[in-house]
Chain A
Amino acid sequence: MALSAGSIPMRWPAGPLEIARRKNTKGFSADTAEVLRNWLDPASLAVVQGTPVNCLVISWAAGLPEDAEQQQALKPLIEKGKQAGLDFVGLIEGDANRTAAIAAAQSAGLSAVALEGEPPEKAGIPVIPRNGHAHMQWTANSPIVGVSDGKWPGIPQEMMPAGGPTNLPWVDSNGAFIQIARALEPDKSVWIEFEAPQAPQPAEAYMLAVADPASYGARWVISLDDALRADLTAKKQPAVDTWNKVTGMTAFIEQHKPARTYQPAGALAVVSNFAGPDWFPGEETVNLLPRLREPFRVIARSRAEGASFAGLQAIFYVDQEPPGTQLREKLIAFAKAGGTLFVPSKWPNPEGPPVQAEPYLLFSLRALGKGRLAVCKEDHPNTYDTVADIQNIISHRNDLLRLYNASSMNFFYQTSAQGRQGVLHLLNYSRRPASDGPLFYVKEPYKSAHLVSPELASPVELQWTPQEAGGAELALPKISVYGAIELGS
């Protein structure tokens, strides 16, 4: 077997190495150890039989005395799994001897190993670079990149709004990171890891954990909490039901492949190298724009010269370092043709005469041909204020989409290459339906709109309600976790 974009990974914690690593951690018990031993048993693979999961991620080496025992103990599981068509990826962590561990993995027939830092040039088997989001090895020669510090998606309890329902709650999502990853390395698959909180989680929390990365084109390395794994092994409810919902959501997203072939769409583009000092403002911009309901696309600075700016009304060039001559000329040409170009304070020799603007704005405006150049007044502006002002300057007159009655939701808009089809992914981070169903305003309605969701028995045809001032609205049924509106013309 070989890993591919179709590989669906699941963390498979089992064996003496897992026990050794976890035995001194909080909450570890004899029951936990038993489950970790049970999942070494090839019979435990029945859990993934008949599900979309086709790749198990196992602990392989951590630089501990148990490494050799672990690799030996895993042999029956690996053998049975491979017979069933499963791939195995071995995690090499800590102070493990990487060369030896890789050789052992190759010998054991693993499909790949995943390790931190820069992968070795010659390994004999595929190596997946697996790092924290701030230390990604984008240029590594691997079709899959792993990020080890994803976020369990949802609304953090401590961030619940205190002042009543008059502000949108904070949501934890992996969307920003994944959009950036796909802009930087569009041909690579992104595997994102995050652990379930050890407190028992409802099925909807796991469904969201699958849907959040998948909507943006990445894969969650499915990871179940100890109690759920124990109950699942014992075939207890509600664990079996929760697992069925996890695999059901995974299968549903697999059936709706357009999500991975369509491109993000919006009137705004965010251009950055997303590295070094530009990581935070870039990532935070991409993180906050969905909360302002501003559809956008991300363009890696290294690819901006060759990127199409068609359909854009505005570009936010994030980086403190000015662009090279060619990119600058391209950005200025975009503005002169009628777009608005937002740039940081260090933009050298801003072009065009100043024009009047609201005094509170973080940007001073300059006329540039048919468009505008907006130069930030501050060296380190508040990112929320920055994106709010960008949206304000672009003007709601040009809103492509608006979402109502969905304060705990984010949406992600993608279109086909010609723009004739689109999909609107809707993610509900509260994991429970609001009192009213979501309502979408669409400036340029498509001919058809269908809501698909694993929560629905069949697709629901949505009706367009034309609006007096233009555009049309779509009223949706209530959604607990995830739905997608498939738009066609």
Chain B
Amino acid sequence: MNRDLTRRDVLLGAGALLALPALPAWSIASAPPSGRVAVAKCKTYGPELLPAMETMFDQLGGLDKLVKGKTVAIKINLIGVRSQRLGTALMEDTFWTNPRVIGAVVHLMGNAGASRIRVVEGPWSTPETLEEVMLSMNWKPQDILSAAKNVEFENTNYLGRGKKYSRFMVPGGGLIYPGYDLNHSYEDCDVFVSLAKMKEHAATGVTLSMKNVYGATPITIYGEGAGVDEPSIRPHGGRGGVFHFARRMPSKSAPQQIDLSLPKDAGYRIPRITAELCSARPIHLAIIDGVKTATGAETNYGSPNRPQAAINPGVLIAGTNCVATDAVAMAVMGFDPMAIRGTAPFVNSDSTAQLGEGLGIGLRDLSKNEIAGAPIAEVVFSYSAVRDKILAASKKA
């Protein structure tokens, strides 16, 4: 990279074509921190799960140092339409964070001395309690609630139990929005955990611990049915209208888009919004469930070239830095963590991790991070290979 990019270049994506600089001039002054990431083999959600997670957390320096006496918010991933499963596969074995993983994390957090654990998520377009969402998928939410003391759920699609929304400003001013208004749970915690699934994504290539935070945004402000001036009381619609395609703006009460001429392309917008969110609401612990998951993204937009398949990579990843953790996950998925727009998995989008690096959150270069546990080479599960196999089979058929 031998060209200085202006802020507008980066905003408009020119930087993406040339590969974004690690540290744009407008970004925060200090170099992004390196991270520590642990990888564990774990083929099932059975008895091997808890010890595998325990080992990972030990490799990261011990959970107690992070959560003892603290309030922890764990953002899980229950996104997508509940009624749309991948064949007969269970949602938790494809697109959603598995409840056993949630239960194991909650349990270990409790054992490590967390004083309060709040499991949070903004499931698609519903005000239902998370307990109800889980029940609708035949889960046993009580198993999670009883995995430690003082565990509670909160649907963060709306105001919830809070009296007002919490404002998070993006250090350095932001790429699309200068800040975000979120449910109080994201402020009322000492430790913020992103507990994601290891998935591909139709608009952003991959969706991992960083992209998981995208679902933290309240629909009452950022949904298609959000209030114009003030947040609506109830959540209506998805985030596509505001975030993916800028068909409308968020409620005026929230920080507004910096520049209305910015592209209205989901592959441009979502990675930037995600990176901003991770910068504004830093993730202390990133955990990725790659035991059972799916190729092809939960929202496939009917693309025959992106076939979905339930898969069993049998891996768990956890890290203290979300960019580093996602970079390791990308490598495990068979992608180059340093890939840029135009290269798999970022065929039609910018790299969220790259943008996160630009915002000073962390480093994608695996060599600059500390990686413990199972060697990546031993756990690589190529998503592209699965896709190619399915496409070849369908061509043959």
A14 CA / B80 CA spacing, docked (Å): 52
Q: Decide: A293 and B81 in contact? CB cutoff 8 A.
A: no
Q: Which residue on B lies nearest to A292, using beta carbons?
A: B83
Cβ 8 A contact of A470, one of B128, B138, B224: B138
A312 CA / B158 CA spacing, docked (Å): 31
B238 close to chain A: CB less than 8 A = yes
- Give B62 Cβ to nearest chain A Cβ, in Å: 33
A166 CA / B95 CA spacing, docked (Å): 13
B139 close to chain A: CB less than 8 A = yes
The interface residues of chain B lying within 8 Å CB-to-CB of A439 are 85, 87-88
Q: Interface size bucket, B side?
A: 35 or more
Q: Decide: A166 and B238 in contact? CB cutoff 8 A.
A: yes
Which B residues, 157 to 174, have Cβ-Cβ distances below 8 Å to chain A?
158-159
A437 CA / B86 CA spacing, docked (Å): 10
A447 close to chain B: CB less than 8 A = no
Q: Decide: B88 and A473 in contact? CB cutoff 8 A.
A: yes
Cβ 8 A contact of B158, one of A360, A403, A469: A360
A406 CA / B82 CA spacing, docked (Å): 11
Contacts A164-B299, A436-B87 hold; do A360 and B127 have CB atoms under 8 A apart?
Answer: yes
A59 close to chain B: CB less than 8 A = no
Cβ 8 A contact of A293, one of B83, B132, B202: B83
Q: Decide: B85 and A167 in contact? CB cutoff 8 A.
A: no
- Give B163 Cβ to nearest chain A Cβ, in Å: 10
Q: Interface size bucket, A side?
A: 35 or more
Q: Decide: B301 and A164 in contact? CB cutoff 8 A.
A: yes
- Give A211 Cβ to nearest chain B Cβ, in Å: 21
B84 close to chain A: CB less than 8 A = yes
A438 CA / B353 CA spacing, docked (Å): 37
B135 close to chain A: CB less than 8 A = yes
Q: Decide: A405 and B84 in contact? CB cutoff 8 A.
A: yes
The interface residues of chain A lying within 8 Å CB-to-CB of B81 are 165-168, 407
A166 CA / B297 CA spacing, docked (Å): 12
Which B residues, 188 to 211, have Cβ-Cβ distances below 8 Å to chain A?
202
Q: Decide: B140 and A469 in contact? CB cutoff 8 A.
A: yes
A470 CA / B139 CA spacing, docked (Å): 10
The interface residues of chain B lying within 8 Å CB-to-CB of A42 are none
A385 CA / B233 CA spacing, docked (Å): 11
A163 CA / B237 CA spacing, docked (Å): 9
Q: Decide: A441 and B84 in contact? CB cutoff 8 A.
A: no
Q: Which 5 A-B pairs have the closest CB atoms?
A: A396-B136, A396-B135, A163-B240, A469-B138, A404-B85
The interface residues of chain A lying within 8 Å CB-to-CB of B127 are 358, 360, 388, 392
Contacts A385-B234, A475-B88 hold; do A166 and B83 have CB atoms under 8 A apart?
Answer: no
Q: Which residue on B lies nearest to A406, using beta carbons?
A: B83
B59 close to chain A: CB less than 8 A = no
B124 close to chain A: CB less than 8 A = yes
Contacts A166-B80, A167-B125, A168-B81 hold; do A402 and B86 have CB atoms under 8 A apart?
Answer: no
A465 close to chain B: CB less than 8 A = yes
In the complex, given contacts A167-B238, A396-B135, what are 11 additional A-B residue pairs having Cβ atoms less than 8 angstroms apart?
A165-B81, A165-B301, A166-B80, A166-B124, A166-B240, A360-B158, A392-B129, A402-B83, A405-B87, A441-B138, A469-B140
- Give A340 Cβ to nearest chain B Cβ, in Å: 14
A397 close to chain B: CB less than 8 A = yes
The interface residues of chain B lying within 8 Å CB-to-CB of A165 are 81, 84, 299-302
A399 close to chain B: CB less than 8 A = yes
Q: Decide: A399 and B136 in contact? CB cutoff 8 A.
A: yes
Which A residues, 445 to 489, have Cβ-Cβ distances below 8 Å to chain B?
465, 467-471, 473, 475
Q: Which residue on A lies nearest to B158, using beta carbons?
A: A360
Cβ 8 A contact of B85, one of A358, A396, A405: A405
A407 CA / B138 CA spacing, docked (Å): 19
B241 close to chain A: CB less than 8 A = yes
24 interchain pairs, CB-CB under 8 A: A165-B300, A165-B302, A166-B81, A167-B237, A167-B238, A168-B81, A168-B83, A360-B234, A385-B234, A392-B128, A395-B132, A396-B135, A399-B135, A402-B136, A402-B138, A403-B83, A404-B85, A405-B85, A407-B81, A407-B83, A436-B85, A465-B88, A470-B138, A473-B88
